[in-house]
Structure 1
Amino acid sequence: MPPLTASAAARADAATEITLPAGYDLSGTLGILARGKQDPTIHFTYDGVWLAYAATGGLVSLRLAARRIADGTVVDARLWGPGADSALPGLPRLLGAEDDWSVFDAPEFQATLPRLASQPRRLNPGLRLPATGRMMDALVPAVLEQKITTIEARYSWRYLVSRHGSPAPGPAPAGLLAPPSPQQWRKVPSWEWHRAGVDSKRSGTILRACSLAPGLERLAGLPAGAELAAKLCSVPGIGPWTAAETTQRTHGDPDSVSVGDFHLASFVGYALTGRKTDDAGMLELLEPWRGHRQRVVRMLMLSGFRKPKFGPRLAPQDHRFH
């Protein structure tokens, strides 16, 4: 996509600048929000990041671009659409401006970490944990990812958003879409779920969540932690894994661990001890860093470490004709 012209930028419905520490990593911070490279709700370009979503005032297209200044980084935010003004207050948390790594970065804490966690942090000092505050936009793709391969889940998300999402307002990149609203999700016909490869259990969970959407969205006001996770898990079909995957994005939860993940426990076990482990063993290994366990996991994932490739794999399944 060509760079945003000065006239298009001037016609933005809202704009602001947010100052962050020197070396802030915009793409690295927001990367966790993308469900694959072809996620239609977020586009990474050579000069910034575009997102589309529904704010309280309506749909919004958001363009973010970072530039260095003498003592920090300034992120220029331009917004288009009826939700532009209402989206402004949430931008600092979206960028991870309130995510405090000072304890994690302290020399005495770093000294407790294995090299596979401490070195990636030294190489990625500008990474923050974003907090979108949008519960349904994070919950639906997490449900789609339950018990299937990443490739399948990303296809399902892309298919459903492409057919049922809303075009991004303003001078947005071609194909940028806002995720369906709860009302739009509830109108998706049964055959579309099947064509997307989504079984009735997962589609039923999404539809139940959509019926409870106003209450679930209010959970954005709770702090991350056990109470928030318990309230999410009170919805049938949502368990600890789905709750963790959701709050990692909605709240920037620095401590949540995706218990129940098909690969994560063995990955953490091999990374920290050279041996495979289960969920209980993973939590025991991460316990010394309680309060920052998600940070440790993120650093391990950025280390480039790969666990041995043997044992059973989760095979893709075809739910279209079930």
Structure 2
Amino acid sequence: MAGRFAPRPPSHATVRDAVPVPRSGSVPRQAAGPRTRTWVPEGPYDLGLVLGVLRRGGGDPTFRATRDGSVWRATRTPAGPGTLRVYACGGEVRGEAWGPGAEWLLDRLPELLGAADEPDVFEPRHRLVALARHRRPGLRLTRTGLVLESLIPSVLEQKVTADEAYRAWRRLVSWFGEPAPGPAGTGERPMWVMPAPRTWALIPSWEWHRAGVDDKRASTILRAVRLAARLEQTAGMPPAEARARLEVVPGVGPWTSAEVVQRSHGAPDAVTTGDLHLPRIVGWALAGNRDADDAEMLRLLEPYAPEGQRHRAARYVLLSGNTPARRHPKMRRTDIARW
């Protein structure tokens, strides 16, 4: 694989010499303060639990949770880059947005916060699931309406440890992305908006290598960004149809498509198959079987299939914290950038 990469640029060249990236001054700013919107959830609500699935590691440059309980997101919308700050105040949730994508983000704020979700239709069929739901009643399934922002980091997570994937996402976004509009884009730890599809397509091969991304995952992302418009259209499709279109892209399989629609569509039945850990966790929690495979996991989740709630049931299993003890060492961490 290393032999396919072109020579690195001279030592005096910076990462940004490879791909032109707009400077912070070129990002449109709002003349006045942020645009705002308020949404009132029905019943118990846990903001961190709802939006936490969008975070790709503790150092994710597109996501930040602050001590005051706010959640910040820097994202690329169809209207352009935007920054969203969301926080709970009393019985309501307030959103503030900056940048060209501010209006788009606020228009879809309720869906992002889980307004389109229907948690009341869920009926626990296992005592452990019922207990987890009782302890964490504020779970809602987010719906971002954005596909590439979930697809690209999901591809980076294929066949590697979470640490490796998060490191690659952090490097690529901070190297080639745009500063987040508004106050989040400044300071000692600025947030970044992920690169535009064209920018992803122009990243040189040696920079993928430097970020720790092998040729297979990089090629999948390059194929996806060339079809960005067609893939973003899937946000308006039913989850099953969206997954079918996503899986037309070579390198995108059932595991990746499920991880995407769980976030972009808030799909309650899109259970992840092909995962290294999830079948064992579900098998152990629901049947004491630490060697369960995908088939066994789906069998255990079958009671939730008629209502289309298998992914939600799996989420509650994970929230229960009932996981089997580790029998083998963790997967060895690697960094191909050092090869």
The alignment's TM-score, normalised by the length of structure 1, stands at 0.90
> What aligned pairs does 1:1-322 form with structure 2 within 5 A after superposition?
11-47=32-68, 48-68=70-90, 73-104=91-122, 109-110=123-124, 112-115=125-128, 117-172=129-184, 174-225=189-240, 227-275=241-289, 276-290=291-305, 291-311=308-328, 313-320=330-337
Map Cα deviations across residues 208-258 of structure 1 (whole Å, 9 max, x no partner): 000000000000000222x22111111000000000011111011111111
Unaligned runs of 5+ in 1: 1-8
Deviation at 1:18, TM superposition (A): 0.9
Deviation at 1:314, TM superposition (A): 3.3
The match for 1:6 is: none
* RMSD between aligned residues: 1.7
Deviation at 1:272, TM superposition (A): 1.0
Unaligned runs of 5+ in 2: 1-29
Q: Which moved more, 1:9-18 or 1:242-251?
A: 9-18
Residues in 2 aligned to 1:238 and 1:58: alpha-carbon distance in whole angstroms: 26
Map Cα deviations across residues 152-199 of structure 1 (whole Å, 9 max, x no partner): 111111111111111011122642111111111112111111111100
Residues in 2 aligned to 1:317 and 1:49: alpha-carbon distance in whole angstroms: 31
Runs (4 or more) in structure 1 with deviation over 4 Å come to none
Map Cα deviations across residues 81-131 of structure 1 (whole Å, 9 max, x no partner): 112122222111111111111111xxxx23x2232x111211111111101
Q: Tell me the secondary structure at the aligned position of residue 337 of structure 2.
A: coil
Do 2:164 and 2:335's aligned partners in 1 also have CA atoms closer than 8 Å?
no
The alignment's TM-score, normalised by the length of structure 2, stands at 0.86
The number of aligned residues is: 303
Say if 1:313 and 1:103 are closer, same or farther in 2 by CA, change over 3 A: same
Residues in 2 aligned to 1:320 and 1:168: alpha-carbon distance in whole angstroms: 27
Q: Tell me the secondary structure at the aligned position of residue 83 of structure 2.
A: strand
Do 1:286 and 1:293's aligned partners in 2 also have CA atoms closer than 8 Å?
yes
Do 1:196 and 1:320's aligned partners in 2 also have CA atoms closer than 8 Å?
yes
Residues in 1 aligned to 2:329 and 2:242: alpha-carbon distance in whole angstroms: 33
Do 2:224 and 2:249's aligned partners in 1 also have CA atoms closer than 8 Å?
yes
Residues in 2 aligned to 1:114 and 1:199: alpha-carbon distance in whole angstroms: 43
Deviation at 1:13, TM superposition (A): 4.1
Residues in 1 aligned to 2:57 and 2:298: alpha-carbon distance in whole angstroms: 27
Do 1:56 and 1:87's aligned partners in 2 also have CA atoms closer than 8 Å?
no
Map Cα deviations across residues 49-93 of structure 1 (whole Å, 9 max, x no partner): 11111222211111111112xxxx311111111121222221111
Residues in 1 aligned to 2:231 and 2:170: alpha-carbon distance in whole angstroms: 23
Deviation at 1:11, TM superposition (A): 3.4
Residues in 1 aligned to 2:100 and 2:39: alpha-carbon distance in whole angstroms: 21
Residues in 2 aligned to 1:156 and 1:10: alpha-carbon distance in whole angstroms: 35
